[in-house]
Each structure stands twice: as C-alpha cells, then as structure tokens.
Amino acid sequence: MTENSLANPKDEKLPLNKWRIFLCLSILIAIFGAGVAIRVIGSLPIPQPMNVDGQGLILDRRDIPIAQLTPEKNYIPITLEQISPVAVDALMVAADPNFLAGNYEFDALARAFWNDLRGSNKLNHLTLSQQYLRLVSGNDDLSGWRKAREAASILRIQRTLSKEEILERYINVIPFGRESFGVEAGAQAWFGVSASNLDVDQAVFLASLFLVARDRENVELAEIHVDRILFDMLAQGHITEAEFSQVQTSSLSDLIITERIANPLILSDPSFGLASAVNFAKSSILEELGERKSLTSNLLIKTTIDLDIQKIVASTVKRLREEQTGDLDVGLVILDDQGQLRSMFTTSDIHSGLIEKELPRIEVLGALDQFVTGMPKEFYWYDEYLSLVQGTEAISIFANDGQLRSKKILMEWDDGEKVTFAPRSDWLSAPSSTLVRDHQKLFELNSSGLKRPGSDSQLPQISGILSSDSNAKKEWAIGFNERYSMGVLTVSRNSGKEVNLGSCCATAVFNRIFAELNRD
C-alpha cells in the first residue's frame, strides 16, 4: 500500500458513490415520471361515441340553405342485449376474436403498436380498443407523441370500462357502408331489419361488410371474408355444421335490400327538384372529408348551385308538364363557363338519368367531332353511354372556345374551425382543341328543332344536338349559348304517345328555359 493511498483511503470509493447517487436519482425520476403518467392517464377523457346532434347544412352559392345533413338514421346506438347473439359472435370473430377471453393482452397491444410503428396504418392489425379509439377520433395514421397519447388513452379505457362496455361502444360506431355506423343502422341499411332480428346468414354477411367498410375495400369483396368468418365461428362453437352449410349456400346479393333505408338528406323545398344536386354535393363532401366527419360535424357546405336558376327551371318544367297530355319526367343540367353546376334538376322518377348512362357516346361525340379537332381524350374513355352531365360537359367545349373544365359543385365548406375552399376546376383538355367549323350549324345535324334566335340580337345564339330513342320514349337535347351549357333529358310515361322530333318535349324544355335565362 502506497503512502498516497494511506493518506486518502476514500478516493477508491468516490466513483462507486457517484454511481449510487446517479442510480438513486434515476429511480426517483422514474417514480416521478410514472406518477405524472398515471395522473395524465387518469385525467384523459374517455373517448365518446359519435355526435348525433351534428346538423350540416348544404347552401347554394348565395348561402341560402337548400338541404340539411342529419345523421340520426345513420347512427342508432343500442345495448348488447338488444343485438342478436349470433351477430355479436360474428362481429367479434371478424374484429378481435380474443378480446373477451382472459385478461387484457398487453402483449397483443405491444404487437399492434410495433406494427403501427412499422408503417401499417390499417385497422386490421389493431386490438379492438385501438380500433374503437381511432374510429371515434377519426385518426387512422398517428405519429410521434400522438401514438404515446393513444397508448395512454387505451390504458385509461381499459382501467375505466369493462370489456362488455368497450365492446358495446365499439359495435355501435363501426362502419358498415351505405353511410351507416353501428350494428343497428348497418342491419337496417343492408337488410331492412333490426339488429335484434338478424339471422345467421345476415349476421355473417354483415360482419364481412364491416371488414370491407373498415378496410375501405370494394363491397364486392365482402363474400371473400365470409368463408374465414364462417370457419372461425364453427371452430369456436358459435354455429352448428347445419348453419355453416346454410350460409355457404347463401348469396349476399339475395339477402340485401336494393336501396338503403337511411338517407341523411332533408331538402329545404322538395318542389325545386334538387335531389340529384344535393346528393352530388353530399357525395363530393364525403370524398373530401370521409363519411364520419361529413355526417357528424356541423358543416356548412357552400355549393355552386344557383337557387334562382333552379327556381326558374322548376317553374318552367312544371308549366310544361301541365301542358302535356301524358306524364313527362325531366332531367336537366346547366353548367357555366367555369365548369360550375348552376342547376341540376330532376323530377321524382328520373334521378338516375343524370347519374347513370343515358346518351349514346358514339352519337354525341360523332356529332361533335365534325366541328372540333383535339376533343379531350377523357370522353373516349367513357362507356358506351354518357350521362346527361357528361354530355353537357362535352358540348361546353364550344362555349369555352375549345377549352373544357371538369364539373364541380363544391365552393367551400366550414367545419366550425376553418373554412376550406374547394380546388379550382381543372382543364380537361390542353389548349390544342380547335373549333374547325361554324358551330352555329351544330343543331342541324339531327333536327332543326332547337331554337335559333338569329335575327334577335338581344338573345344569345343557341346551338346544340337533338336526338331520341323511340323505343324508350326518351328524348334528349344538349346545347349552349355564350353564357351557359345545358343538357335536357325527357321521358314520356304515356304508353300511347309517339315520339315526334317535330314536337320534341326536350326541345320545348330546352328553348323555354334558355328564354327564361336570357331575361335574367
């Protein structure tokens, strides 16, 4: 032993004492951090189900209400006891078959978070508690501190609610498609029955429809999930072999009702024929924001619809229908030079005429090709038939000097926190489109029925295409002036009436409405 070591016997213990101090401080910090975490977890609010009090408004371009979005029929909360037991079993097998078994599986939660950190933002790898939290929050893709907050919220849920309470809340908010949330709304939307009356076939198919809606898949893929759900239910003793065989021979198309019962739209005035317009606005906002936020927020949705023009159209069509000896259904679209929908009118029986294919593509584009070179290639990608909206878009190229904007109906929307402006309509064609002939003669291709003022310089010139389908007693006219492009479709419901282009109903609607618009 050296003289220095004898003089300083504590020097060798100094590093050890430092480590002891560091270890004690670390333990104290960890205890303090755990206390803070517990306090934070205890103070976090338990996520609540959907807000059924949300009332969205759809407005015209001058902020006049034209329809209301109400989610009451799209979200109908019920208790577990009110749900068919086989439906609960099917949904559990589809979502998280181990949820009710044993204690909370923190290893499953850890695996889910690990998959989440690896970049998978789908709900199919998450625990049921995680799925519930993301469904009610509307956040599918979380990062950074939000994942930590989600973990704290899940622990809070599991400490506060029983598994049965979590399951009940979950089943009441999961999506089923057709703008329905929760098993009761889903059962009514797809099968027209209450969740308490779901049989084995309906329960299994409803569970598969849930997986399709949750994972944002095409509804046609629902039957692919049926086999897995069936085999798992049989293996777990939820159904018998006879029930298994029964479902295997069933078809989803034979079970579902053709149209959903719930429609969240209430028109301000049904007499204005706005059903197709507000449905188009609704589908556009659903595409922008998703179903949940669109249906459960106090949205103010401003559209391009001009209620004054819509009233002119409605009153003109009403007078014309009163003059006809038979029933006449009318669909009409008006676009301005910016591609904005100013009017979309339908009588009660012709809603699909504006959306589905009605106009022969070859006939429409064949006529237009004679007057323009470089027609936008998008129109040649359509099916054999064009909708009235697409036909009106096509002819608007003449009103815009060879240019074409894609149609739009949204102007802006306000969710209470900020106002979002809809993107400007894109050009569908490059500036190379050229009008090569006098388009004022366009209407002469099929008939001279469209009005051409000519000598009256106060009225803008009108040009267009006119045609009919005598077998379907259907007539259509698409045309334009310097202000608007318009498409009209009429269908006669009088079986004894012959279609005569000389007294074409579509022409009459076309000319009268243009005359009214020209007075504006």
Superfamily of domain 305-519: DD-peptidase/beta-lactamase superfamily (3.40.710.10)
Q: Which residue has the tokens 């089923």?
A: 176
Select the highest-mean-pLDDT range: 258-267, 294-303, 451-460.
Answer: 294-303
The token pair at 321 is 């229908």
- Whether residue 203 is predicted with pLDDT greater than 90 in this model: the reply is yes
User: Distance of CA 25 to CAs 10, 15, 37, 120, Å?
Assistant: 22, 15, 18, 38
- pLDDT for residue 276: 86
Looking at per-residue pLDDT, the higher value among 79 and 444 belongs to: 79
Task: Read off φ and ψ for residue 393, nearest 5 degrees.
Answer: -60, -45
388 pLDDT more than 60: yes
Q: Is the pLDDT of residue 110 over 90?
A: no
Closest by CA position to 407, among listed 393, 397, 422, 394: 393
Please say if the pLDDT value at position 124 is more than 60: no
Q: What's the pTM?
A: 0.73
Structure tokens at 41: 């977890």
- Mean pLDDT, residues 388-414 taken together: 80
Sign of CA dihedral 214, 216, 220, 224: negative
Kindly list the strands in the beta sheet with 328-336, ordered across the sheet, starting from the edge strand earlier in the chain. 341-346, 328-336, 484-492, 474-480, 463-469
Residues 357-375 have a mean pLDDT of: 76
Contacts of 117 (CB under 8 A, 6+ apart): 147
Q: What single-letter amino acid sits at 96? A: D
Q: Say if residue 476's pLDDT is above 90.
A: no
pLDDT at 306: 95
Region for 165 from its dihedrals, namely left if φ exceeds 0, alpha if ψ lies in -120 to 50, beta otherwise? alpha
User: What are the residue ranges spanned by the domains of the chain?
Assistant: 72-255, 305-519
Query: What is the number of other CB atoms lying within 10 angstroms of the CB of residue 103?
Result: 7
- Residue of higher predicted confidence among 498 and 182: 182
Q: Count other C-beta atoms under 10 Å from residue 266's C-beta.
A: 13
Give the pLDDT band of residue 66 (cuts 50, 70, 90). Answer: very high
Instruction: Give the C-alpha separation, 126 to 132, whole Å.
Output: 10
**What pLDDT does residue 257 have?**
82
Overall fold of domain 72-255 = Penicillin binding protein transpeptidase fold (1.10.3810)
Hey, what are 172's tokens? 């009441």
Average pLDDT over residues 415-434: 64
Do 412 and 302 contact (CB within 8 A), yes or no? yes
Average pLDDT for residues 47-70, to the nearest whole number?
A: 80
Using the 8-state DSSP alphabet, how is residue 141 labeled?
-
- Determine the 3-state secondary structure of 130 from DSSP: helix
- How far is CA 317 from each of CA 104, 273, 388, 472, 509, rounded to the nearest angstrom? 64, 10, 17, 20, 7
What pLDDT, on the 0 to 100 scale, is given for residue 446?
A: 42
Provide the H-helix boundaries in 388-433.
388-399
Across the range 348-352, mean pLDDT stands at: 57
What local confidence, expressed as pLDDT, does residue 213 receive?
85
- Are the C-beta atoms of 440 and 463 separated by less than 8 Å? yes
CA distance 198 to 186: 11
Most confidently predicted of 7-16, 152-161, 168-177: 168-177
304 — pLDDT class (breaks 50, 70, 90) = very high
User: Could you tell me which of 376, 274, 283, 284 has the C-alpha nearest to residue 317?
Assistant: 274
Q: Residue 90 contacts by C-beta under 8 Å, 6 or more apart in sequence?
A: 203, 204, 206, 207, 229, 233, 238
The type of residue at 414 is D
CA–CA separation, 75 and 85 (whole Å):
20
pLDDT band at 199 (very low <50, low <70, confident <90, very high): very high
Average pLDDT over residues 238-245: 90
pLDDT on residue 454:
44
Q: Across all residues in the chain, what is the average pLDDT?
A: 75
Place 449 in a pLDDT band, splitting at 50, 70 and 90. Answer: very low
DSSP character at residue 81? G
pLDDT of residue 173 exceeding 50: yes
Q: Do domains 72-255 and 305-519 have the same CATH topology?
A: no
pLDDT band for 431, please (50, 70, 90 cuts). very low
